[in-house]
Chain A
Amino acid sequence: MTAALAVSRHQLRILKSDPAFLVIMFLMPLAIMPIMREALGINLVAAGFGDADGAEQVVPGQMVMFGFFVAGSASFSLFREHGWKTWDRIRASSTSPAALLAGFAIPWIIIHLLYQVLLLVVGGLLFGLEVEAKSLPALALVLLGFSLCAVAIVLLAAATLRTVNQVQALVNVGAMVFAGIGGALVPFEQLPGWAQAVAPATPHYWAMQGHRKVFLEAGGVGEVAKAFWVLLAIAAVASILGVKRFRADETKEFFA
């Protein structure tokens, strides 16, 4: 655990030296939100949520979509060590593969969580997204579940794939496809039938289901429990597979 925390702290130091990516990932959804808000509001009203004005969909939806890109950086940071020729130096400290993966996962789980919270707060202030006090614990569970899930999936990809280009392609395509199918771009009711059928296979669907319970129905922990447990289960499976697949002595190629 000591080594994992040392790796985590070091990753945060490196990120602090160049936070441009996070700043862009924060500003992008804020720029898109006002463009889509009104149209999504009409969709929500049509779907039976009479009081909705679109912020209930666009703020969490954009947060979920761009959040997956942010989680993708966990894989980038792991591959970067190979590019910097520092990977073997870390390995020489005899840190276990699981501790290594944890060291790369922990900072990104924290960053992803903070990213979501900050985007909800700023998005909420700018676009009038409101949340009932009783729904706050439920919201916390949904945010935590999605952070764990996104980072675990991305690290599974990093453990499995050989080059950073492969991982980046998978993360980029995954972020867009999962967001589209999972109901992060438009309300679930607006999705075509085939997309509605496969949506539950994506973590984005479960995150959005949780956010709908919180923002559209003022639901509590009980209402989001299913979404949380599914997200947690996906995170657990991805983590187990990731640790099982991860080989610290495997050569990874970093092109950047």
Chain B
Amino acid sequence: MLDARGVAKSYGDVEALKGADLQVAAGEVVSLLGRNGAGKTTFLSAVAGLLAPDRGTIKVDGVDVWAQPGAAAALVGIAPQETGIYRAVTVRDNLGFFAELSGLRRAAKNARVEEVAEQLSLTELLDRKGTQLSGGEARRLHTACALVHRPKLLLLDEPTVGADVATRNQLIDVVRRLAADGAAVVYTTHYLPEVEALAADIVVIHGGVVLARGTQAELVDRYRTEGVDIEFDRPIESLPSDVDGRPLTANRWRLQNVSTLREAIASLSAVEARILQAEFIRPDLERVFLEITGSSLDDADPQDAGSEEVTS
């Protein structure tokens, strides 16, 4: 359904996308996982025909997005990152407007508005003004507006930002149902629990490039780095010969083939330096992301990523 190849886009000197590739089949959900500034939004904007790429090709169901924008627009639905609804008018008017923009009229429009409202649990709110909606309800309406014209490719840019847990679960459920009905969905997020809940293919994007793709299990298996990171109070030149480890820095070493902290620390009894800290490296998605990109999903220091730690 989506075939994007070599998509590049720069803003002045900043290269937001450096030749990103992504293929998504009908009925498939792909989680585009990356830090803020990784290029997720730029990529979605290019696919939605909102931002012309500097190079590369983007086809949706065989239609070139930039050569045939009208035909492509009918195939793509996008819910941008920031909530964009008309608060001055009713939920019905919001949905009706986007239905009209897609060419639906009267009975067809009204039927489709009811249908989408039901999908997003907005039926009871149809005659309520946007100003009267809660944050979660507004977010659901925001997503619903992208569905009105029955897009074959749905682009959801961090759809659960600011949403409560119930709305988040509801949106994930909607995404699953849309995929089951044959839509291709690209879902950007940097919330790992959401990625896990979607059970979708994960595409890791970093620095404007797609670095890896696979299911959570595949990625964890491919990039697993089970082991223990040990921080000493002084530089260490080598470990005992029976210990499998490699230096990360002069003071910090990674021990492999150990299954517990106790086992790791015991294996270092012959080392004269004091152990300041020992960190068990879990083979989870966050760690996989760190392995692939060299940085954590949040903006903090990559070394601060979730882990089990003991300090001497």
Contacts and interface: CB of A to CB of B under 8 A. Distances in A.
Interface string B95-135: 00110111100000000000000000000000001000000
Contact of A6 (B48, B73, B101): B101
B103 A2 contact: yes
Interface stretch (A47-55, A59-67, A83-91, A180-188): A83-91
Contacts of A162: none
A13 B100 CA distance: 13
Given A86-B84, A88-B84, A249-B51, A95 B101 contact: yes
Would you list the 7 A-B pairs with minimal beta carbon distance, nearest first? Answer: A94-B73, A85-B84, A6-B100, A93-B101, A17-B88, A86-B84, A10-B97
A18 B101 contact: no
A91 B98 CA distance: 11
B26 to A, nearest CB: 20
Contacts of B85: 84, 86
Interface stretch (B75-83, B246-254, B269-277, B283-291): B75-83
Interface in B50-69: 50-52, 69
Contact of A92 (B50, B82, B129): B50
Nearest to B88: A17
Decide if the interface of chain B is mainly helix, strand, loop or mixed. loop
B284 to A, nearest CB: 34
Interface of A: 2-3, 6-7, 9-10, 13-14, 17-18, 84-95, 249
B226 interface: no
B171 interface: no
A114 to B, nearest CB: 20
29 contacts: A3-B101, A6-B97, A6-B101, A7-B101, A10-B93, A13-B89, A13-B97, A14-B89, A17-B89, A18-B88, A84-B84, A84-B86, A84-B87, A85-B82, A85-B84, A86-B86, A88-B50, A88-B84, A89-B145, A90-B101, A92-B49, A92-B50, A92-B76, A93-B98, A94-B73, A94-B74, A95-B101, A249-B50, A249-B51
